[in-house]
Structure 1
Amino acid sequence: MAQVEFDLEKELNHEDKERRLEVLSVFFELVRQGKISLPPKNSVINNHIHTFYSFSPYSPSKAIYMAAKSGLPTAGIMDHDTIAGSEEFISAGKIAGIATTIGVECRADFSKTLLSGKKINNPDQHSIAYVAIHGIPHNQVETVMKFFKPYIERRMKRNRLMVQNINNLLSKYEIALNFEKDVVSISKYKEGGTVTERHILFALAKKIIERVGKGRKLVNFLKNELKIKISKKIESFLSDEQNPFYEYDLLGLLKSDFTPKFYINATEECPDIKEVVEFSYKIGAIIAYAYLGDIVESVTGDKRSEKFEDDYLELLFEVLNELGIKAVTYMPSRNTLTQLKRVKNLCEKYDFLQISGEDINSPRQSFICEALNQDEFKHLINTTWALIGHEIMATEDKDLGFFSDKMQEKFPNLRDRIEYFKNIGLKMWSKSD
């Protein structure tokens, strides 16, 4: 049966969506028959899982499979600039008996705010920050796709130029990328997905390995030729030629230390933050600022040690409040307790909804955030079920959503509103499970 499960798992990233869902159905039928066992569901949640519609080793179906294998009762899709994988994700969740939320992550321009010129939560560019649109009503998927389509196309133009920069930098090593063949081909662009810097860097990682090889040869090439600084942890990963995550580890290193050499600032592809806020409210979704915090050591190896928003966090929250952003998403496993307590205190001061946002885009990452078992973060489990309740109600009528005027008037106290929507989420899902 182990071989059967192995074969099914490989099919979960099949090119055809219907085939992926069919395979997932077969897998869970075997689970119901007792032929395959899964761990019991725990209370841990995850609202920020990328799929291969932006960049990830997982299709929406495989992401749900991985969530089930990790014992998660809920899972949330969060792709960059696209929600093309959401319908499959919802269907897969129903097959697996996992509650789902759908969202989209995007970069927004804060240059017309008091944060202009600051490095916010984006390692590559000042004045540009990542925000997450959570709890998108299911009847608004097409509206979201139409909103982001022109930004995706503008991003493609910049992607081509960045690939040209890479080719110019590496021509003397006979390393070159063909944008269509090497980059677009590993994306889901033709199915409504996006092409990101990670696609470019993953393609580059493959080319470098093909040209140089693995192990010490590659480490020496990176250090001596590309002048990339490598931490001891990443060097140990890349020195191991049998490392199953080799290409992803190299991608992470290139993203943190090579990206500045070829990066072109994103301008036209980043909507003004006020436009994004207005759009989020219009469709009945919940827009959240994605807190990053100063980094000492990156968990995934894709970010350098550097400072972000911690030095001006109070100002940041003032700006968010003025913009009408009433939620913050953060990652308990990636920040210090001191950082997170400060964020929590400011969220409470401004009455912001707190959402757990563990970013999953690499096979090395665990779907389980152990920190959520700590008392300091258990409230994030409640807000996840509230998010699920919101999505159910906002799909029925956006005026019944969490931040609608009607529901804020009915439940002016944030905790009362969380409790109300949490109970809806738990009740509705228990009926369908």
Structure 2
Amino acid sequence: MFSNVVEKLKSPSSRKRLKAVKKLKKEAEPKKRQIASGESVNLQIHTTYSFSPYTPSMAAYMAHKFSLTVAGITDDYTLAGAKEFIKACDILGITYSVGMELRGDFGDGYANIALFGVAQKYFKTLEKKTAKLRARQKENVLKTIEAVNKRTEKDGIVVSFEKDVKPLMKRAGCKVFSSKYVYYATAEKIIEKFSAGEETVDYILSEGLDLTQNEVGLLRDVTNPYYAYDLAQILLENYRILNVKKNYASPEEIISIGRSVGAICAYEYVLKRRGAPLSDEELIKKHTALVLRLKKLGFDAISFDPTKFSKEVLDSLLKDLEQNEMLPLHLSRVEFPRRRFDCNRIEGEENEKMINSAFAVVGSEMSENSRDGYGFNYKNVELTFAEKLKLFAKIGRKGL
């Protein structure tokens, strides 16, 4: 019975999904809930409206299941799922946050930029201001298809936008063009040609793609329920090396949009999973230069996974951010089914700093939502950075 209700969270109807959330709230099984110790925050949950196996209601339910203190939705280029997510979080008693993720062209490479803490009164404004950027995504998807097909067509694997990618997006209820559906469609084509298991592994390795031992195990497992998602993620991470010139906005343009809606503008810092790792000394030097560059561009925060660094590197990064009055935020983008809803956390003072920053984002959003409120970036408030952080984190935890 309980599993049947959970299944209804995948319904094409948002009304039916929210009805299922209400029922789950009443019939919740305490033993099914994975209780986290202390506060747990994830501001970067994606839904089916961009690319994810989770509808907004399902995402809220999963956040509840993993005992998140705060759950944030940040779909790529759209706020289409935000209102349903908010309603579901309200039903489940979860503090929510709303944002949007965009892709920026930094001249020497591309990176994701998150606009966190967008107040509901600015939803229409943000959708309007990002309309042109959203429209460019179809062009970027078509370029990705062309580049991937050049790599795979010799093996009889060719993806069509109209026949393969578009139907996937329509079936998921996706509201924006996403290159991730290109990789998912390619994964399905590979599985169709070679079948799940050893033959697919052999093909991927013959193509020179870099697989970890864990990924080899996942692709050899023919009973793997996330097989297509796992293969799509492998293709995404490996095919980023393809020389595809995308039409993304500059970070300055994205930050300007974020400022106009009171958002916290965050650079998503992701360590390369492939290739030789950097030494601690190299990372510290890289971080110092990165923080200074991002500060000059006007960023308010950097989101990253703190578990990827040694204590020495993490302490150095947090110090650089504090000196430049920037917020450190946890990065755990939930868009593939194996991604964690509860962020990879560390223990101690470092974790508290990052959790506190997340609550400051929530507090800024709450304040912006009030009638005469102002957010974290309001310039006419004579408060130091530390005082603003303390004030908005308190609002985020206790409300106005």
CA offset at residue 254 of structure 1? 0.9
Q: Give the aligned partner of residue 398 of structure 2.
A: 427
Q: CA shift at 1:191, angstroms?
A: 6.3
Query: What SS is found at the alignment partner of 2:377?
Result: coil
Q: Distance in 2 between matches of 1:172 and 1:39?
A: 47
TM (norm. structure 1) is 0.84
Task: Please give the alpha-carbon distance, in whole angstroms, between the structure 2 residues aligned to 1:65 and 1:252.
Answer: 24
Q: Which residue number in structure 2 is paired with residue 123 of structure 1? A: none
Which secondary structure state, in structure 2, belongs to the residue aligned with residue 187 of structure 1? Answer: helix
**1:394 maps onto 2:389 in alignment:** no
- The residue number in structure 1 matching 2:177 is 195
The answer to whether the 8 Å contact 2:56/2:82 transfers is yes
Cα gap change, 1:304 to 1:66, in 2 (>3 Å): farther
Q: Secondary structure at the match of 2:202?
A: helix
Query: Match of 1:290?
Result: 268
8 Å contact 2:42–2:72 — kept in the other structure?
Answer: yes
1:264 and 2:260 are equivalent in the alignment: no
Q: CA deviation at 1:35?
A: 8.3
- In the TM superposition, what whole-angstrom CA distance separates every residue of 1:145-188 from its partner, at most 9, and x where no partner exists? 12222222222023123323433443343322221332122226
Q: Structure 2: which amino acid aligns with 1:320?
A: L
**Superposition pairs for residues 98-177 of structure 1, below 5 Å?**
98-111=94-107, 117=108, 126=109, 128-177=110-159
Where 2:345 maps in the other structure, the secondary structure is helix
Q: 1: distance between equivalents of 2:353 and 2:341?
A: 18
Cα deviation for residue 394 of structure 1 reads 0.7
Letter in 2 for 1:158: N
Q: Secondary structure at the match of 1:72?
A: coil
Please, which of 225, 229, 232 is the counterpart of residue 244 of structure 1? 225
Whichever residue aligns with residue 291 of structure 2, its letter is F
Which residue is 1:45 aligned to? Answer: 41
Count matched residues.
396
Contact map agreement 2:140 2:179 (CA 8 A) in 1: no
* Paired residue secondary structure (1:422): helix
Partner of 1:179: 161
How far, CA to CA, are the matches of 1:161 and 1:107 in structure 2?
15
SS at match of 2:267: strand
Q: Is the 8 A contact 2:332 2:344 kept in 1?
A: no
Alignment of 1:13-412 (within 5 A): 13-31=10-28, 38-40=33-35, 42-111=38-107, 117=108, 126=109, 128-187=110-169, 193-224=175-206, 226-261=207-242, 264-267=244-247, 270-293=248-271, 295=272, 298=273, 312-396=286-370, 400-407=374-381, 409=382, 411-412=383-384
The answer to whether the Cα contact below 8 Å between 2:152 and 2:158 also exists between their aligned partners in 1 is: yes
* C-alpha separation in 1, matches of 2:70 and 2:172: 29
TM-score by length of 2: 0.90
How many angstroms does 1:103 deviate by? Answer: 0.7
Residue 36 of structure 1 and its aligned partner are, at CA, apart by: 7.6
> How far is the alpha carbon of 1:192 from its aligned partner?
6.8
Change (3 A) 1:211 1:37: closer
CA contact (8 A) 1:54 1:194 kept: yes
- In 2, Cα distance between the equivalents of 1:391 and 1:309? 33
Deviation at 1:278, TM superposition (A): 1.8
Structure-2 separation of matches of 1:279 and 1:398: 21
SS at match of 1:46: strand
Moved more, 326-335 or 278-287: 326-335
What is the RMSD of the two structures over their aligned residues, measured on CA atoms?
2.5
Per-residue deviation at 1:346? Answer: 0.5
